[in-house]
Structure 1
Amino acid sequence: MTAPEEDPAAAWGDALAQEQAADAPDSARVLNQAEIDSLLGFGGGATAEESQSGIQRVVSAGLVSYERLPMLEIVFDRLVRILSTSLRNFTSDNVEVSIDSIASLRFGDYLDSVPLPAMLAVFKVEEWDNYGLLVIDSALIYSVVDVLLGGRRGTAAMRIEGRPYTTIERTLVERLIGVVLQDLSDAFNPLSPASFRFERLEVNPRFAAVSRLSNACILSRLRVDMEDRGGKIELLLPYATLEPIRELLLQQFMGERFGRDSIWETHLAEELRHTELALDVVLDEQAMPLASVMSLQPGDRITLNVAPGAPVTLRCGEVPLFEAELGRRENRLAVRIARELRRAEWEGA
């Protein structure tokens, strides 16, 4: 007698189940950088904010006090237009640059939130004698390297996680940083001459500290799209770096005279010219004992220690204005102004 034949489908299912059970304890899936960032909370800004209490939000909002800089937004808009053209010439590809956001935050908070791996370029502004940061994320790094080395269009750039950047990648990214810094200089030039000079390239945020961790900074996130690939460029400028041109950045439009109203200034100047002032003619000044002053009676005379033709001083309150000569005109005492007293003269006296 022969044994009954087994069902082939059932046998195949049992073998597959045994194989999965044997491989289950040893199977482990490798997470990519996007999943790691999401797991660590870098991409979940809204979730982190919702977990804060009301008091924590109030305290966090008061940590960074910043004023709006209208002209800085115009500079960034100009940077986007210039950078789009420059990157098209740099990559020989269709490149679109847009502004994701402009925000203010503490320098230390930004360093803690930088998604790694990334390249942090430290640059110096020669005219302002201070520093800033330019951060290129890994997605844009791999995209630029792929484009410059002749990668095929229509395919996403390959990302290899868990290894340091090679010398070729660093060199190509430095060329990209040079293009961005040159365009940043051109964007600021209509407002104020500025030369953004590349200092060094870091991959560890701790080595890219260009300001105190508690200092306030302005962060501008730029999105670079090259067909089906791209990434982000983050520009970080501490408020201390922008301090030399803060008055220019407060303007509402180019050429504004720091918010002043010329019509109101003219009206105020005209009204001041019609204001009446009381001028005192000071013939002489003497220092007398208090007892002598209290003993003065009607009819007493005070002798002036001034010669008859000596010049007198015209004052408005406590401020000497003119030096004049005393005389008469139509049976009235009069003075004729000889010269104006400068501020240094009466302050020194």
Structure 2
Amino acid sequence: MNQALAEEKVEAEEDNLIDEIIRLSDFTFDRLPMLDIIGERLVENISVAFPDLMRALCEASLVQLDYIPMGQIIEGLPQNALLAVGTGHPFEGEIMLAIDRTLFMTSVELMLGGTAKQINDDDDDEYTAIELAFGERLAAAILAELQRALSVVGKAALELDRVDTDPDAASVAKHSALCARMKFSVAMAGHAGVLDVVIPYDALEPIRPDLGKIYFGDRGQAQNVWQDLISDQIERAHMELEVVMAEEAIPIQKIMAWRPGDTVEFGIEEGQDAIMTCADAPMFKVSLGKRNNGFVAVQITEKLSALEVPENDGDDN
């Protein structure tokens, strides 16, 4: 009995494979290996950009890159997915992002400062105007990271055109048109969702020769691609700054005699100069002051060079 079931399963898989071969034979196209590299770059970019946007750790991976008709993509879209349409160089036409409900609602909850613990994947309610507004923000962020990923083949400039939930309205090509689809898995806050990036094959015409061969950027370009990528990551990094308002040399005998409630006078006045540091390195000279709400604030008055050491009137003890 088990052998018969196994034989039926093998025959079914062979039939599916034959159907797939017949379907692809209707299209004349070349596989584009650079799309795999662009997809992996997009994975890295999303893994860095989403935590900045949502304040939550993100794990992304490229699950699949395939070439299928637009109609088949539309039929396979998850229920109540958020669909975003983007345009811009280097594509010759529109591209589509399909964000499933789990990923979309998790992102909305996190962007609102929540924990995304109450996400109902089976909910089929229509999205509110506020949720769609956050969807535009999410889609714009993904397009920005795709634009960075495309830098391996040249300059890109993408922008969000619209968001929709109607697959027919968001379709970016005829149902019979061949498309390249990159499918990503994105996990955040205990939820795993799916992101599809759909690019009609015809829209790739301007850069198709570059996508057909594997390379990591033209060394003859005026700008180094790796430097640009590293610069993007550095610009997203966070720095801890400290303001040294006063330094005072105090005998250790006096310090050991301190008790809770004792007052230590530093003689700090409004308008007094101070030094702003990062990792103990002096960065700026600042002037102390207060805002209208009573909070202490500093005004940057001078940028210190890397080798400049501020004068210290006191001892280092």
User: Quick check: TM above 0.5?
Assistant: yes
Of 156, 166, 175, which residue of structure 1 is paired with 2:137? 175
Partner of residue 241, structure 1 = 203
Partner of residue 87, structure 1 = 50
CA distance in 1, matches of 2:64, 2:28: 18
Of 126, 131, 140, which residue of structure 2 is paired with 1:164? 126
Q: For residues 125-161 of structure 1, give each alpha carbon's deviation from its aligned partner in whole angstroms, at most 9, with x where no partner exists.
A: 23434111001101111211222223237x3523462
Q: For residues 255-311 of structure 1, give each alpha carbon's deviation from its aligned partner in whole angstroms, at most 9, with x where no partner exists.
A: 579xxxxxxxxxxxxxxxxxxxxxxxxxxxxxxxxxxxxxxxxxxxxxxxxxxxxxx
CA distance in 1, matches of 2:133, 2:17: 47
Q: Secondary structure at the match of 1:130?
A: coil
Tell me whether 1:99 sits opposite 2:62 in the alignment.
yes
Q: For residues 104-127 of structure 1, give each alpha carbon's deviation from its aligned partner in whole angstroms, at most 9, with x where no partner exists.
A: 101111111112111110111234
Partner of residue 146, structure 1 = 109
Equivalent residues in 2 for 1:18-37, closer than 5 Å: none
CA distance in 1, matches of 2:179, 2:52: 31
How many residues are matched?
Answer: 211
CA distance in 2, matches of 1:130, 1:77: 23
CA distance in 1, matches of 2:16, 2:198: 28
Of 202, 208, 215, which residue of structure 1 is paired with 2:170? 208
Partner of residue 96, structure 2 = 133
Tell me whether 1:67 sits opposite 2:33 in the alignment.
no
Paired AA for residue 107 in structure 2: V
Partner of residue 119, structure 1 = 82
Percent of residue pairs identical: 28
TM-score after normalising by structure 1: 0.56
- Unaligned runs of 5+ residues in structure 1 are 1-45, 258-349
CA distance in 2, matches of 1:254, 1:167: 41
Cα separation, partners in 2 of 1:203 and 1:252, compared to 1, 3 Å: same
Paired AA for residue 62 in structure 2: I
Of 157, 167, 173, which residue of structure 2 is paired with 1:195? 157
Paired AA for residue 190 in structure 1: V
TM-score after normalising by structure 2: 0.61
CA distance in 2, matches of 1:56, 1:97: 31
Q: Secondary structure at the match of 2:175?
A: coil
When structure 1 is superposed on structure 2, of 230-239 and 127-136 the one drifting more is: 127-136
Cα separation, partners in 2 of 1:123 and 1:54, compared to 1, 3 Å: closer
CA distance in 1, matches of 2:183, 2:29: 18
Q: CA RMSD in A?
A: 2.5
Q: Secondary structure at the match of 1:218?
A: strand
Q: For residues 60-111 of structure 1, give each alpha carbon's deviation from its aligned partner in whole angstroms, at most 9, with x where no partner exists.
A: 2313443221222111111111111000100101111111111110111111
Cα pair 1:218 1:238 within 8 Å, conserved: yes
Cα separation, partners in 2 of 1:201 and 1:51, compared to 1, 3 Å: farther
CA distance in 2, matches of 1:252, 1:191: 10
Of 177, 183, 189, which residue of structure 2 is paired with 1:221? 183
CA distance in 1, matches of 2:34, 2:121: 38
Task: Report the alpha carbon displacement of residue 163 of structure 1 after superposing the two structures with TM.
Answer: 1.5
Q: Secondary structure at the match of 2:95?
A: strand
When structure 1 is superposed on structure 2, of 157-166 and 83-92 the one drifting more is: 157-166
Task: Report the alpha carbon displacement of residue 51 of structure 1 after superposing the two structures with TM.
Answer: 9.1
Cα pair 2:154 2:217 within 8 Å, conserved: no
CA distance in 1, matches of 2:186, 2:18: 37
Cα pair 1:64 1:106 within 8 Å, conserved: no
Runs of 4+ that moved beyond 3 A: 49-58, 126-129
Partner of residue 314, structure 1 = none
